[in-house]
Structure 1
Amino acid sequence: MSTRASSPAVSISQAIAAGLAPDGGLYVPEKLPTLDPAAFDPHGSLAHTAATLLAPFFAGDALAYELPAICAEAFTFDAPLRPLPAHPGTLMLELFHGPTSAFKDFGARFLAACLRRLPRADARPLTILVATSGDTGAAVAAAFHRQPNVRVVILYPDGLVSPRQAHQLGCFGDNITALRVAGRFDDCQRMVKVALNDAALQAEVPMSSANSISLGRLLPQMSYYAHAALGWWREHGTLLNFIVPTGNLGNAMACLWAREMGLPIGEVRLACNANATLPDYFSGHDYQPREAVATLANAMDVGAPSNFERLRWTFPDETKLRHLLHAHCVDDDSIRQTITSHAHEHGEVFCPHTATAMHELDRLRAAGDASAWAVVATAHAAKFESVVEPLTGRPVAIPTALSAMLGRPAEAESIAASDKALRARLLLDRVER
């Protein structure tokens, strides 16, 4: 069903294929299922955990039989929960071991594995539209690269992603097109939503989405929270708390949904950069989207988080919601200080986004909180070497897959930050085919 309740309910396969509901809302299950932690194999891999966790969502669907294979295909790398030796009770949930060194790899690969198995009556290529503030685009490009009858169009804010992120976005070629938008991420996100809701354009250019507005991206992200929390619970018998770096709210929603389903997850805190839309709301102000400001944690530079619709659907009681979550702003100076101090004092190197979560944990520890907390590490520091290396005073080792991408040529087309410009570009591809 749609968060706006004006579109008919559809199967999960249809929701994944469509991306966005016809009424402009985001697809959600009619209700969240509940699972017993004892239902999960204590010796199972992340893929096994994912298959168990997601089975209720796919029950009776055309993809239900394929779900274990989809999870095995998507989750070929780990999401280790690593203790930080210098910080008792502190763990790092490392989500950057995939092909593009960011947590977006999990959802993108799951979505691609689903779409590969869904029949399409339309023989024309399916266009996957992606708005990215840095990491989503590369993950989707890697997941769909050279997939037959699929093309990916990535929109990213020109000059507002790191140089290595920009190179990743433009290094694929083949069925992947990167568009440098003369605007901010919120412009990219708006352009994608308008295009997906343009019925006349959809009739000419069949489209879907791979942003976290896509249920096919969001659902698999619950898996690494479930897997980490279950492992901690089995070993210690207590709930594990999480601090999630947050921009568009998709990763945090995955954690919250996993908790609502009965997984042993304790408190969830949101670490934001200087974009204060969510912290202001949770401090008691009206929800007020605004223009994003550029920060060192650029992948979180979001002023209008689209998944807020899902958050309100999940927790319709606003008073309860504000008591349930905390969100804290971390400015650029604090990001720099956190990266510098942890590198020099403990030898730990964080990307700017992970540093926002670590800063929030440092604040809690200073206030006397001794609970078990997992800081969610969303990207590898090597993707942000221009920020990190001057602060740590040493080079960051580059993961093998990222190094291979950086060794390829890259190019991107410039486009105005207008719905009309994107429409024209998509129609141009149709004519050229």
Structure 2
Amino acid sequence: MKYLSTRNPDHLVSLSEALRDGLAPDGGLYVPETLPHVDGTKFVGHSHIRYIAEDLLAPFFAGDPLAHDLGDICDETFDFDIPLRDLKDDTALLELFHGPTAAFKDVGAGFLASCFSRLNKGAEEPLTVLVATSGDTGGAVAAAFHGKPNVNVVILYPKGKVSPRQEKQLTCWDGNVRTFGVHGVFDDCQRIVKEAFADEAFRDRINLTSANSINIGRLLPQMTYYAASSVWYRKRHGVEPNYVVPSGNLGNVLACLYARECGMPIGEVVLAVNENKPVVHFLETGEYKGFDTVATVANAMDVGDPSNMERLRHMWPDVDTIRQKISAYQVDDETIRQKIRTGLDDWGQVWDPHTACGVAVREQLDSPHWIVVSTAHPAKFDTVVEPLIEREVTIPDQLAELLDRPDYSSELDPSLDALEAALVD
């Protein structure tokens, strides 16, 4: 399997090169040259996602040195539960918050860390993993890479624009992890990352790579939980499920679409988005443009110019085709708050803001058999959730341990020059 740039179909690289580079030299994003058909019926007998992961991802690793390590990489990545919980009204919940930092991004981050530790084994110069985060990515990457030999991590997050507990998960790391609170919004952080990759001298000087969802290594393992949950749901209920995916930078929903294109039993795919409108605007008008970021209670989805839109439009250049493949519903903050407030009575569940956004969309859909993707544990958003439900949310053990650590972060102006100066210090 080779990987090509979204901006140059003739630029083909191996999986290891795509992982290592993160972004193509022309500024494009790497995508598989083809999406292989996978026989999902052979997954029916697999109760553990780890075995589904290895079978599903094997074609994407074909011909690459990492193929020999795929089994071990899957063992290391999928070492926590990813349950599919049936609720009511033909609705199930895919719980992606049982990993080290209680968010879905633990899957992609853990997978990349396992790959990078093998790719750079024995190298003279350490890799530098540069990450922009709107909340959960940075914490997941820090936890996955902390203490890994021959890899340094630099995390950029919008200062004051993430929840206190999210911030604590970003700032509690030392050693090979450095965290900077940027005076700006997430799109400023993402812009700095893109500028860093575009600056060849800077990129080479610090041996730069990325663990954001611009890196194809984030998307590949995320396909696995869509493949697994679709097979599990069909085995239980006899029909293929539809999905509601809370969406910001579009990496998670793109993984769902990749899994469906590979032949997994996935029906409709609906994006649940907050008051940030690039996706809804694009589907309504056929015109794509970035917008200023709007701060919402579902802050991990506060993205005004999602990077993975480039992959989506590369896969389906025609907007009418995209409209046939996905739809999107926008949910405002008050509706999200209301769904959190009534979650226990209506569903017997405490929702985080992003899952609440997905539930609000599910309740607008008449057709049966939906899986709502639950992307984070509500304890990560205590300042939003607890006043609405008028009780404390139990903190999972893995999150409680991180909250007790000291703060090692620094602050940063929103420019590549400021980052370069900080890294020299």
What's the TM-score, normalizing by structure 2?
A: 0.97
- Opposite residue 75 of structure 1, the aligned amino acid is F
Q: 1:7 touches 1:21 (CA, 8 Å); kept in 2?
A: no
Distance 2:358 2:346 in 1: 18
- Pairing 1:417–2:414 present: yes
Q: 3-state SS of the aligned residue for 2:66?
A: coil
Q: 1:344 touches 1:392 (CA, 8 Å); kept in 2?
A: no
- Opposite residue 179 of structure 1, the aligned amino acid is F
What's the TM-score, normalizing by structure 1?
A: 0.95
Q: 3-state SS of the aligned residue for 1:129?
A: strand
- Opposite residue 155 of structure 2, the aligned amino acid is I
- Pairing 1:88–2:89 present: yes
| Cα displacement (A) at 1:78 | 1.5
35-44 or 261-270: which moved more?
A: 35-44
| Cα displacement (A) at 1:41 | 5.3
Distance 1:55 1:125 in 2: 28
Q: Deviations over 1:292-321 (max 9, x none)?
A: 010000000000000001101111222111
Question: Which residue of the partner structure matches residue 51 of structure 1?
Answer: 54
Q: Choose the corresponding residue for 1:12, options 6, 12, 15.
A: 15
205-214 or 230-239: which moved more?
A: 230-239
Question: Which residue of the partner structure matches residue 393 of structure 1?
Answer: 390
Q: What percent identity do the matched residue pairs reach?
A: 53
Question: Which residue of the partner structure matches residue 330 of structure 1?
Answer: 331
| Cα displacement (A) at 1:236 | 2.7
TM superposition outliers: structure 1 runs of 4+ over 6 Å: none
- Opposite residue 403 of structure 1, the aligned amino acid is A
| Cα displacement (A) at 1:347 | 3.0
| Cα displacement (A) at 1:419 | 2.0
- Opposite residue 349 of structure 1, the aligned amino acid is V
* 1:280-291 correspondence to structure 2 within 5 Å: 280-291=281-292
Distance 2:60 2:243 in 1: 24
Question: Which residue of the partner structure matches residue 77 of structure 1?
Answer: 80
| Cα displacement (A) at 1:327 | 0.8
Question: Which residue of the partner structure matches residue 166 of structure 2?
Answer: 165
252-261 or 196-205: which moved more?
A: 196-205
Q: 2:172 touches 2:406 (CA, 8 Å); kept in 1?
A: yes
Q: 3-state SS of the aligned residue for 2:235?
A: helix
Q: Over aligned residues, Cα RMSD in angstroms?
A: 1.3
- Opposite residue 306 of structure 1, the aligned amino acid is S
Q: 2:117 touches 2:151 (CA, 8 Å); kept in 1?
A: no
Question: Which residue of the partner structure matches residue 223 of structure 2?
Answer: 222
| Cα displacement (A) at 1:7 | 6.5
Q: Deviations over 1:252-291 (max 9, x none)?
A: 0000000000000000000001001101111234111111
Q: 2:46 touches 2:52 (CA, 8 Å); kept in 1?
A: no
The number of aligned residues is: 422
Gaps of 5+ in 2: none
Q: Deviations over 1:314-338 (max 9, x none)?
A: 1122211122211111111011111
| Cα displacement (A) at 1:43 | 2.6
Q: 3-state SS of the aligned residue for 2:12?
A: coil
Distance 2:316 2:204 in 1: 35
* 1:418-433 correspondence to structure 2 within 5 Å: 418-426=415-423, 428=424
Distance 1:271 1:114 in 2: 31
| Cα displacement (A) at 1:147 | 0.7
Alpha-carbon spacing, 1:41–1:325, altered in 2? closer, same or farther (3 Å)? closer
- Pairing 1:129–2:130 present: yes
- Pairing 1:377–2:378 present: no
Question: Which residue of the partner structure matches residue 292 of structure 1?
Answer: 293
Distance 2:97 2:146 in 1: 19
Q: 2:100 touches 2:143 (CA, 8 Å); kept in 1?
A: yes
Alpha-carbon spacing, 1:266–1:28, altered in 2? closer, same or farther (3 Å)? same
Distance 1:188 1:6 in 2: 28
Q: 2:44 touches 2:235 (CA, 8 Å); kept in 1?
A: no
Question: Which residue of the partner structure matches residue 27 of structure 2?
Answer: 24
